Amino acid sequence: MQIIELLTPHYEAAWLPWAVQYFFLIAMATGAALAAAWGTWAPAGRPPAKILPLAVVLLLVTAVAAPVSLLADLHQPARFWHFYAHFTPWSWMSLGAVLVPIFVGTSLAFCFAWWRGRIGWMRALSVPLAIAAAGVVVYTGAEIAIVRARPLWNNPWVPVNLALTAWLAAVGAMLILSLLMPAGDDAAIRAWLGRLGLALSLALLCVAAAWAIGGYLMQTPSFEQAVRLHADFPVWRISLRLSAAIGAIVLLMWARPRLWLHSRGLSLALGVSVCAAAWAFRWALFMGVQGVPKYGAGLYVYRMPLGGDGLMGILGIFGLCVTMLVLVLWGLEKWPQREGAGLRSA
Partner 1 sequence: MATPARSPADGTPGREHPAPATGTTTFPQTDGAIPGPRSDKRGFLKDLLGLAAAAAAAAAPAPQAQAAIGDQPRRRPGIPGKRFGMLIDLRKCIGCQACTVSCSVENQAPIGQFRTTVLQYEIDKGDGSAPAMVSLPRLCNHCDNPPCVPVCPVQATFQREDGVVLVDNERCVGCGYCVQACPYDARFINHETQTADKCTFCEHRLEVGLLPACVESCVGGARVIGDLLDADSEINRRIGARRDDVKVLKPGMNTSPRVFYIGLPDEFVDGIDGQASVRLVADH
Q: Is 112 exposed, middle or buried (0-12, 13-18, 19+ CB in 10 A)?
A: middle
Stretch of 88-96, 173-181, 186-194, 268-276 contacting partner 1, by CB under 8 A: 88-96
- Around 90, how many Cα atoms within 13 Å sit in the side-chain half-sphere? 0
**In the 8-state DSSP scheme, what is residue 304?**
-
- Contact status: 344 vs partner 1 (CB under 8 A): no
- Contact status: 148 vs partner 1 (CB under 8 A): yes
CB of 304 to partner 1, least distance (A): 11
Question: Of 1-20, which residues contact partner 1 (CB under 8 A)?
Answer: 1-12, 14-15
CB nearer to partner 1: pick between 154 and 243: 154
Which positions from 282 to 321 touch partner 1 by CB under 8 A, shown as an x/- string? Answer: --------x--xxxxxxxxx-x------------------
- Could you write out the DSSP letters of every residue in 24-91? HHHHHHHHHHHHHHHHHHSPTTSHHHHTHHHHHHHHHHHHHHHHHHHHHHSSSGGGTTHHHHT--TTS
Determine the size of the site formed for partner 1 (CB under 8 A): 62
- Contact status: 334 vs partner 1 (CB under 8 A): no
CB 292 within 8 A of CB 153: no
CB of 311 to partner 1, least distance (A): 15
CB nearer to partner 1: pick between 85 and 341: 85
- Contact status: 150 vs partner 1 (CB under 8 A): yes
CB nearer to partner 1: pick between 43 and 234: 234
Strand positions, DSSP E, 149-253: none
Burial 192-226 (b: 16+ CB within 10 A, else e): bbbebbbebbeebeebbeebeebbeeeebebbebb
CB nearer to partner 1: pick between 223 and 260: 223
CB of 251 to partner 1, least distance (A): 29
Q: 43, 75, 234, 335: which one contacts partner 1 (CB under 8 A)?
A: 75
Q: 42, 49, 68, 94: which one contacts partner 1 (CB under 8 A)?
A: 94
Q: 44, 146, 206, 235: which one contacts partner 1 (CB under 8 A)?
A: 146
The residue type of 225 is: Q
Distance CA 248, CA 250 (A): 5
Question: Of 16-55, which residues contact partner 1 (CB under 8 A)?
Answer: none
Distance CA 181, CA 179 (A): 6
The residue type of 231 is: A
The residue type of 331 is: G
CB nearer to partner 1: pick between 50 and 150: 150
Region of residue 6 (phi > 0: left; psi between -120 and 50: alpha; otherwise: beta) = alpha
Question: Of 215-274, which residues contact partner 1 (CB under 8 A)?
Answer: none
- 158 phi/psi in degrees, rounded to 5: -60, -50
What is the separation of C-alpha 158 from the centre of its chain, rounded to a whole number of angstroms? 13
CB nearer to partner 1: pick between 9 and 43: 9
- 185 phi/psi in degrees, rounded to 5: -60, -25
- Contact status: 93 vs partner 1 (CB under 8 A): yes
Distance CA 37, CA 251 (A): 26
CB of 130 to partner 1, least distance (A): 13
CB nearer to partner 1: pick between 43 and 89: 89
CB of 154 to partner 1, least distance (A): 7
Site of interaction with partner 1 (CB under 8 A) = 1-12, 14-15, 73-76, 79-80, 82-83, 85-99, 135, 138-139, 142-143, 145-150, 154-156, 290, 293-301, 303
